[in-house]
Structure 1
Amino acid sequence: MAILTEREPVRVWPLLMERLTADLPVDLAVLVDLDWDAGTGHALTGKPDWLYEAPLDALINTHMRVHPLLRHYASTADRTPLTLDEIADDRWWKSEAYRAGRSAIGIDRQLALPLSARTGQVRSVIMSRSGQGFTGRDLEYAGLARSLLDTVSAHEAVVRGLPALGDPAEFGITAREAAVLALLSEGLTAYAIGRRLRIAERTVVKHKENLYKKLGVHDRVTAVNRARALGLVPEEPPDGS
């Protein structure tokens, strides 16, 4: 719901990092964005919150070129989630980079979810846990999560290119109703909206009824047209169709 309704999509990423740390679980998750050609990069966001006090950017800029996972994704077209245990050799575990990372943020075992990026750049979620390695089930989850995060990244890019939208709260529209409205504008049925938001179809119908009252309309098409006129949803669906 936050992905659909957040006016500043960058705010969604901390929620995703928090979910990753809980689901796997891991000690930390960080979204990094690297300009490999320039040898620079930074951490965009992460969880838990104490990471904001850690010298992440300094670690990245000093050691990114020797990090086995980052080096692998920079030099190949591979976008498969991989672990350090699969990629690293003995030199990594004995390296200054490994010692620095473990001292600063306690990294030990790591799993990377590489996201789509422009040529010469690396964008990835790096997750770490102490001691225990990652299982086959963890890797299966990571593969599913990677696809979702790539979709979120693409959605963020689309939203950045759209005109600023109006505030649904000005019309008494709740966050959940705004999410339903956004999906209505994409042409989804009540059943499909329920599946997307993980709520019952009858709950979607109730939200639609509330939206019609608040927008002063009586049907779906008029509701979407009214919402577009008010700037509550884009003029066209995000895919441009």
Structure 2
Amino acid sequence: MRLDKAYERMTAVAVAALHEREPARLWPMLAGTLADVCGGETVIHKLDDWSESRGTIGSVPDAAAMELARLGDADLGLLRAGYPLAGHYAAGTDRTPVTAQRVVGRTWPDSRTARLLGEVLGVDHVLGVPLPRSTAPITGCLVYRAGTDFTDDHLVAAERTQPLLVAVERQRQLLDEWRRALGPAGAPDQRAADRALTPRETAVLLLLTDALTADAIGRRLGISVRTVHKHIENIYRKLGTRDRVGTVLRAQRLGLVPTPGRAGA
């Protein structure tokens, strides 16, 4: 797949994901396309920690998820550890995608992790795609394939996808926090849908409530200031307001964002 075409496809999927109301569906939507773009077969996404003792694992395709579900704690911990990529990224600030083979060289095929991957998933190469600026813990995706190692073009494609992955992850975090603050399950989504607010507009509204400037919102969501202003105009129109303060107050009255007392609680 040509790099430009691959990036266009990934962009289209990321945009579609940003309109998804269910946060848990965002990464599964991306993962399959990420595998294709990077020349892989299977993706594990880890959004809380690359460590042996903790961290949830999501994976595609479904067959891979089923195989992972059969693993015991020790083997699952080995995959959580992300050898050798977690150590590689923790040692510095560089978050450029790289493969296990390039990190440790000829010793990679003989490692416990490589042998386990071959036995469980039938793959023998792994590409790390961390989220840029993730510090501790390191978070992101691991892309797997069988046969030859990932090429330079695959690494370039992976690097180009990183800003898209960050945008989707920030959206997921915001929507998760929003749901926890406003519960019960489904109620916030319905209230937003009743006002025709898209998930992206909901995310911008939440950041408006936090008194962030348009510049800050753009940096937080990975979008341009112009796009932020467009979302704000849509929010004003849909809520029937004219300014930031009036919008926040109306959103609070409608139960679209937490009130200050509830947010503090």
Normalized against structure 2, the TM-score is what?
0.61
Residue 101 (structure 2) pairs with residue 69 (structure 1): no
Q: Unpaired segments of 5 or more residues in structure 1?
A: 197-203, 237-241
Give the deviation of 1:105 after TM superposition.
Answer: 0.6
**Structure 2 residue aligned with 1:229:** 253
Identical pairs, percent: 24
Higher helix share: 2
Give the deviation of 1:98 after TM superposition.
Answer: 1.6
Give the deviation of 1:53 after TM superposition.
Answer: 0.9
Give the deviation of 1:21 after TM superposition.
Answer: 2.1
Q: Is the 8 A contact 1:40 1:60 kept in 2?
A: no
| 2-structure distance, mates of 1:22, 1:138 | 10
Cα 1:69–1:218, aligned 2, differ >3 Å: closer, same or farther? closer
Q: Is the 8 A contact 2:89 2:95 kept in 1?
A: yes
Q: Is the 8 A contact 1:109 1:133 kept in 2?
A: yes
Tell me the alpha carbon deviations over residues 174-194 of structure 1, each in whole angstroms, 9 at most, x when there is no partner. Answer: 574x54465477587xxx9xx
Residue 189 (structure 2) pairs with residue 164 (structure 1): no
- The 5 A counterparts of 1:30-179 are 30-32=44-46, 33-34=48-49, 36=51, 39-55=52-68, 58=72, 59-62=75-78, 67-115=83-131, 116-118=134-136, 121-162=137-178, 163-164=181-182, 166-167=187-188, 169-170=190-191, 172-174=194-196, 176=198, 179=200
Higher strand share: 1
Tell me the alpha carbon deviations over residues 153-172 of structure 1, each in whole angstroms, 9 at most, x when there is no partner. Answer: 44444444442275454564
Partner SS, residue 88 of structure 1:
helix
- The 5 A counterparts of 1:203-218 are 208=234, 212=237, 215=239, 217=240
Number of residue pairs the alignment of both structures matches: 217
| 1-structure distance, mates of 2:116, 2:205 | 50
| 1-structure distance, mates of 2:203, 2:117 | 42
Q: Is the 8 A contact 2:182 2:257 kept in 1?
A: no
Cα 1:90–1:108, aligned 2, differ >3 Å: closer, same or farther? same
Residue 31 (structure 2) pairs with residue 13 (structure 1): no
> Aligned Cα RMSD in Å?
4.1
Q: Is the 8 A contact 1:4 1:182 kept in 2?
A: no
* Structure 1, 218-227 or 104-113: larger mean CA deviation: 218-227
Give the deviation of 1:48 after TM superposition.
Answer: 0.9
| 2-structure distance, mates of 1:66, 1:147 | 21
Normalized against structure 1, the TM-score is what?
0.66
| 2-structure distance, mates of 1:88, 1:123 | 20
Give the letter for the 1:27 counterpart: E
| 2-structure distance, mates of 1:66, 1:23 | 21
Give the letter for the 2:36 counterpart: A
Q: Unpaired segments of 5 or more residues in structure 2?
A: 1-14, 224-229, 261-265
| 1-structure distance, mates of 2:161, 2:255 | 32
Tell me the alpha carbon deviations over residues 93-135 of structure 1, each in whole angstroms, 9 at most, x when there is no partner. Answer: 13343222112112222210123142xx432310012224323
Give the letter for the 1:50 counterpart: A
Q: 1:24 aligns with which of 34, 38, 53?
A: 38
Give the letter for the 2:117 counterpart: G
Give the deviation of 1:27 after TM superposition.
Answer: 0.6
Cα 1:228–1:74, aligned 2, differ >3 Å: closer, same or farther? same
